[in-house]
Chain A
């Protein structure tokens, strides 16, 4: 297995199966931040200290294989091409932070890419598990099991009172960031989204755009995650997120039904226009493509379109990103060329050859 495998294919294998509520929930993700005792956190670590972290953590993966976690491959960031890093970010397998500042950084990926373990990111160790649909409990079970394997082998920085010690004060305690990616077009269209998002903020959860901190929500996709990591148990965090997301799904469903009953013609027109534009346009900016793909996804869910499967739409969400386009059609590209190749990709995938 080579590193190329991870960047050539747009859709990770884990994303191919649907998972529960997959018409609204794209994925569930658990991230656990851990650090080794004594060694400075990656921000301050020398190259030798970063290497020491890697030296202590790397042997554990072999044990992981023994205990049934499948095959893992370790990729050092310094060995990767810039473009491959970009693609790994677009697939959510590494953070932009690790891609940009990869001193001593590494990522360990399992064969279906559902587990991604970052070394020397903001913390020494970040265990990340991704599941399709709403499966926060399952993702947590797996992440904590992997955490146990590491914990048996290395000395974690842990404090009686503060819990797991992390580089950033916002992660201390459980070190757990549990998040769910949701597609909420009907709540956006019916202008209910702001009310719901501010309610979400009030119960200790936070909402972001799909590519994490500092990015805006494109294509009506939102990432909902816990804000508090200290003073709550992991199961409280997970159950809180699960229950809030379940309620949001319910609101989104109701809003979709209302759209269909109150403005069926309008919504059908919107979905079909978007499908038409994606199938025929010669230039397509990322923002527009994300919005149109969101309309098409809604259309498929509502039975307005028989068109592309959810899996194909998930794939297009990743493939239309700049890094992936460059990977497919050539390294050097102007913005206009990217828009042209994005349009070509969309035309070819959605059935029109014009």
Chain B
């Protein structure tokens, strides 16, 4: 698809802008995006992945009534670096790794939108990873346990319970 602005370069940015219910689709190339900076959501002059992200974050609340929940989200604050959620949504970047904890309740929709997923399934750090692997296993076993109980398979349930206890013991021993 060619850029709808210059009609020369391939369109590499595709997005939809909704203003008071009216939907407009954009298919443009990066150089036109940079020139047109102002008309795109969440940008002011310079166009970058961060301004695009912050546009996404801002849109979360836009168009809707500011509910108590969104107000609460905006006032979330990271105690480690001092960044607030509203600063984060303007910058499109976290201040430190603790921000992930403090903003956790608001992050799922963002990650879902950017990555289509909210949880990591890849590499685990070797030192901290063993514990996480046990935790992941325990979570799975607990789900199985619930299922066996609801299906009244008590023998299986007892076995699962023992397995969970063993793993929990191993974690505390580490």
Contacts and interface: CB of A to CB of B under 8 A. Distances in A.
B122 A40 contact: no
Given A37-B97, A169-B92, A214-B34, A161 B122 contact: no
A41 B9 contact: no
B48 A213 contact: yes
Nearest to A237: B122
A120 interface: no
A159 B98 CA distance: 10
Interface string A12-35: 000000000000000000000001
Interface in A118-156: 122, 144, 147-148, 151-152, 156
B interface, over-half SS = loop
Interface in B23-69: 29-31, 34, 47-50, 53
Interface residues on B, range: 35 or more
Contacts of B121: 231-233
B31 A216 contact: yes
Contacts of A37: 97
Contact of A43 (B11, B93, B123): B93
A290 interface: no
B135 interface: yes
Interface in A37-62: 37-41, 43-44
Nearest to B131: A160
Contacts of A144: 123
Given A151-B125, A230-B118, A231-B116, A194 B96 contact: no
Contacts, number: 146
Nearest to A39: B96
A164 B50 CA distance: 19
A37 B125 CA distance: 13
Interface string A234-264: 1000000000000000000000000000000
B138 to A, nearest CB: 12
Contacts of A168: 49-50, 53, 92-94
A interface, over-half SS = loop
Interface residues on A, range: 35 or more
Interface stretch (B107-115, B151-159, B162-170): B107-115
A208 B9 CA distance: 12
A165 interface: yes
Among A156, A165, A174, A193, residue most surrounded by chain B Cβ atoms (within 10 Å): A165
A166 B114 CA distance: 14
A214 B43 CA distance: 14
A162 B119 contact: yes
A197 interface: yes
B115 A230 contact: yes
A158 interface: yes
Interface of B: 1-2, 9-12, 14, 29-31, 34, 47-50, 53, 80-81, 83, 91-98, 100-101, 107, 110-111, 114-128, 132, 135
Question: Top 6 A-B pairs ranked by shortest CB distance?
Answer: A231-B117, A163-B120, A157-B97, A230-B115, A165-B97, A174-B122
Given A165-B100, A166-B94, 14 more contacts: A40-B81, A151-B127, A159-B100, A162-B111, A169-B114, A170-B53, A174-B123, A193-B10, A198-B1, A209-B30, A213-B48, A215-B30, A231-B119, A234-B123
